[in-house]
Structures are given as C-alpha cells and as structure tokens.
Amino acid sequence: MKNGICKLCDLEKELKRSHVIGRAVFKKALKGANHALRFDRQHNKVVKDQDQWATYMLCGECEQKLNKKYEEYSLNVLRDRMKSVKHKKRDSHYEIQGVDQKKLILYLLSIMWRGIESNHEVFKKLKIFDESPVAKNFLKKSVKNEQVFLTECFDLRISKLVSLIAPFSEMELDFITDIYCNIDEKQRIRLLTIFEGYCFEFFFLTDKSQFLTGLGVLKKNKSILKMPYIDIFSIPEFQKSLLVMIESQKQH
C-alpha cells in the first residue's frame, strides 16, 4: 500500500501498482513464466524482471478506468475475440473489419503516456519528455477526457508481425518488448513497442510534411484497419536488442 498523487486525476489517494503494458498482455505473453527477460545496460547483462514493469502510478479508480475504457476492448479486437470484428489475412496486408479505431488510438496513447510517466528502469529512456511537458500533457488530456486531441501532432501505425526467416507460429511471435525511442530519418520522435503479435509505432510530428500515409495508420473515424505485414527480424530495434542479449549471454 502506498499513498501519493495519482498521475491521471492528480488527487492524493492510495496508489496501485500500475502496468504500462497491461497485466493481461504479460500473462498471455509469458505463457506461465513468472518473469520477463530484459537487458540491463548499466550492468551489461540479461536480468529477469518479476514485477511486470509495474510501479505505483495510478489510483484504483483511474487504473480501472483505463482497463475498462481502453484495454479490454482493444485486446479483444487485437485477439479476434469479438463477434462484431472480423480478421482477414490478405496476400498484401492484414485486415481488421468493424474496429473502433478511436478506442484503439486511446488505448495506445494511454500506453505511451504511462511509459513516459513511469519511473521503472525499463522506461528510463522516455524521461527525455520531462524536458518538454507538451507531449506528456496532450497525451494525458486525451486519456483523461477520452478524446483524441492534436491529431496534427502525431501518427500511430500498427503492423502485423511475421517471420520470413523461420516459420514461427503466431504464438511464438507473441512476446513483449519495452518502448524503444529514437529520432527517425524525417526528424520525427518515434516510439516503438511490440506485443500481442503486432508492432506499434507512435510518431511525434513537428511539421506537416512528416505525416504518415499508407497501411496501418490509425484514423479515428474509420472502421476498417488495413495493416502491413512486417518481418520481425527487419525491425532495427528488435535486431539490435536480440544481438546485444545474445552477446551478453555468451559473456556470462
């Protein structure tokens, strides 16, 4: 038990251990294991995390709100567990029909916001947003008010994971990464995370010429989401992390 100021409602309450990426996602991805593997850069070794990257951040009411309003619906959509939503495997893309993309956007915004607010070691790299609270504030405003604000300032893209090198099953492609952060070739701040067999990218834009187009870009008023397939081993952040972890294991 811990009392403190809730990051979402700004009231002093009893805080719960809040997950950036939900407990339900961890439970499914860990497949019975009680820990996740992570490369600890400070000590240059692979460590086992048993806390599911949870920290005291939200009160019980706000935690429940995010779970009920965003996570529950979004995970059911991504896992193809809703009768009103249809998943279609096309040759050129993966398609989800009947999806409320606004709810999906808010779910992903809530993850990015919680990652930025978290003081867990895994999300330390996201502390760069403390230097300029603009991004953090608009994310919080969106999540708190259930509205997608400042759409001219960001884009979200979802891609469906596949493996072209080895015939991995969908279950084998169901794992979790932390949130990577970098500046891309168009000078956009890009956040990337992988879970539930999908690759999620969030782009902060500083110029209208930086808008994303094409498959996988979420639009709040659309009900059909066509996303590209992406080879898991073609994702630079995943490649680098995998190689670093393998090299670290060799040294120990």
- The rounded distance, in Å, linking the Cα atoms of 227 and 220 is 15
Minimum mean pLDDT among 23-27, 36-40, 96-100, 104-108: which range? 36-40
168-189 as b/e: b if 16+ CB within 10 A = beeeebbbbbbbbbeeeeeebb
pLDDT value at position 45? 46
Mean pLDDT of 40-47: 49
Q: Name the one residue in this structure whose structure tokens are 């919680």.
A: 114
pLDDT value at position 245? 54
pLDDT tens track for 122-168: 888 888 888 778 888 989 999 999 998 877 888 999 999 998 877 77
Q: 235 exposed, middle or buried (CB, 10 Å; 0-12, 13-18, 19+)?
A: buried
Residue 132, C-beta contacts closer than 8 angstroms, at least 6 positions apart: none
Share of the chain above pLDDT 90, in %: 50
